[in-house]
Structure 1
């Protein structure tokens, strides 16, 4: 596993000092080879021992081991880019596609790491045991809310989906303790969605959120929070990484819901056959 992916995936569990070290390494990975542990400590205004403890906590023998590992990861990435360019001198699109595929793979791997099995199990149990699953997303998030709500419906699960916050507020007014509100919000800071989530919890339901791997109001409010990792200096690439990693996360949950219960699986097969008959001339 790339040391940079490992640092990103564990950042949320770090102390304030450790997060400062992590952020410096992530933002200055190319320059890390020029820093000794003491120079890094001086740059951050912390003790050298804090840097050493940080590297050991990540599973490295010491700072030189971490620095070497980061440099090796960067070199592999650079060599990969060079190889692609040399093979496709006249084909920039192929090089870009290869680079994007690698970045998506890294985002999906990091997303897997920040959603441990126990968290996914709690989310799966909440969805599987829900009387009704209310699903909402606003803007681009609505695309994934609609798609996932359809998948749940195909499994025979009672699902209520809407992008209209007013309508959703009315729908959840009769929610019970076994019901789940699934909120898709990339940045997790939509004020109205936070109000809906708070209202749903007051009704006794369980709030399940899907947001970026950042500190945000919606995540803090959730009973269960699923996270998506997507890091890149280019905003347009970052958006693509988020969408790819999110879809992979949702597909994994759908498969487990489908294969984890024979009745849901049978209902999916029956619904697929019914839809096929409707489409036939």
Structure 2
């Protein structure tokens, strides 16, 4: 995605000397970056993780994960911009099918029964999400309400922050995040952790900071797709996980 690289190059002069080291290493090693966590990259460059996070934010991303996967997307399509800007229906369908099959395979290894029990016993279920993940949260909260649960998914970020400080250990928080690194999401997770609220994280990337703050994590397979500055990544795998959990919950409730 040459347009992405050109955009990032224009921001290089605004970076500090340490941030330029991070930036240059990422552009020289896009394939390697896809496999590295922020801690591993920090160790390679003998820099702090805070420096790497600041670099990502100064380049216009919410965190290292988002920058990493944007660069990875470019690396996978360096055969030509046309592949990215005009993908065929067949290639898109195959990509979505693959994401779903990988997600379902990961779910087979997850403690689904334990998570469904937590959903069943929770007094209140609060679903947190921002940006492209928010519609999935709203739909899940709606379905939970019809299943007889007290559930909410709030649109306003400040309201989400307030609620994250008011839940108790008898409740359950579900956090849906593609990157698992969004500043607001991490803030909510820290508030929830402080109050000993059980947290189920549903994330589209591995080794995110959100995963370290969650009681349970369900991993979705998500291909990051950027057209210029627009994130067009499909959230179908995140939605599938939520639907599977709610169907399991409905089945459990019907047997009580």
TM-score, with length taken from structure 1: 0.54
SS in 1 for 2:173: strand
1:202 to 194, 206, 228: 194
1:166 aligns with 2:166: no
Over residues 8-56 of structure 1, what are the superposed CA-to-partner deviations in whole Å (9 max), with x where a residue is unaligned? xxxxxxxxxxxxxxx78x99xxxxxxxxxxxxxxxxxxxxxxxxxxxxx
CA deviations 1:99-130 (Å, max 9, x no partner) are 32222111111111222354222221211111
Offset, 1:173: 3.4
Q: For residue 249 of structure 1, what is the aligned residue in structure 2? A: 241
8 Å Cα contact 1:122/1:224 also seen in 2: no
Does residue 98 (structure 1) correspond to residue 85 (structure 2)? The answer is no
Deviation at 1:157, TM superposition (A): 0.4
Separation of aligned partners in 2, 1:165 and 1:187: 17
Residue 224 of structure 1 deviates from its aligned partner by: 0.8
Equivalence map 1:45-84=2 (5 Å): none
Aligned position for 1:153: 145
Q: How many residue pairs were aligned?
A: 172
Moved over 4 A (4+): none
Match of 1:111 in 2: 103
Worse overlay, 139-148 or 189-198: 189-198
SS at match of 2:222: coil
Gaps of 5+ in 2: 1-30, 36-85
From the superposition, tell whether residues 158 and 145 of structure 1 become closer, same or farther in structure 2 (CA, over 3 Å). Answer: same
**Alpha-carbon distance in 1 for matches of 2:128, 2:155:** 6
Asked if 1 retains the 8 angstrom alpha-carbon contact of 2:123 and 2:171, the reply is: yes
Q: Is the 8 A contact 1:176 1:203 kept in 2?
A: yes
Deviation at 1:240, TM superposition (A): 6.1
Higher relative contact order (CA 8 A, sep 6+): 2
Distance in 1 separating the partners of 2:155 and 2:167: 18
Contact 1:104 1:241 in 2 (8 A): no
Tell me by how many angstroms 1:137 deviates.
Answer: 1.0
Picking from 182, 189, 192, the partner of 2:174 is 182
Greater gyration radius: 1
Indicate the structure with greater helix content: 1
Q: Do the aligned partners of 1:229 and 1:242 also contact (CA within 8 Å) in 2? A: no
Equivalent position SS for 2:115: helix
Give, in angstroms, the shift of residue 178 of structure 1. 2.0
Q: Does the CA-based 8 Å contact 2:120-2:253 persist in structure 1?
A: no
Aligned residues of 2:178 and 2:222 also touching (Cα < 8 A): no
Report whether the alignment pairs 1:258 with 2:250: yes
Q: CA RMSD in A?
A: 2.7
Measured in 1, the distance between the counterparts of 2:175 and 2:240 equals 17
**3-state DSSP of counterpart to 2:235:** helix
SS in structure 1 at match of 2:181 = coil
Instruction: Write the distance in 2 (CA, Å) between the matches of 1:244 and 1:173.
Output: 30
Query: Residue 140 of structure 1: SS of its match in structure 2?
Result: helix
Q: Which runs of 5+ in 1 are unaligned?
A: 1-22, 28-92, 265-281
TM-score, structure 2 length as denominator? 0.59
Report the counterpart of residue 183 of structure 2 in structure 1.
Answer: 191
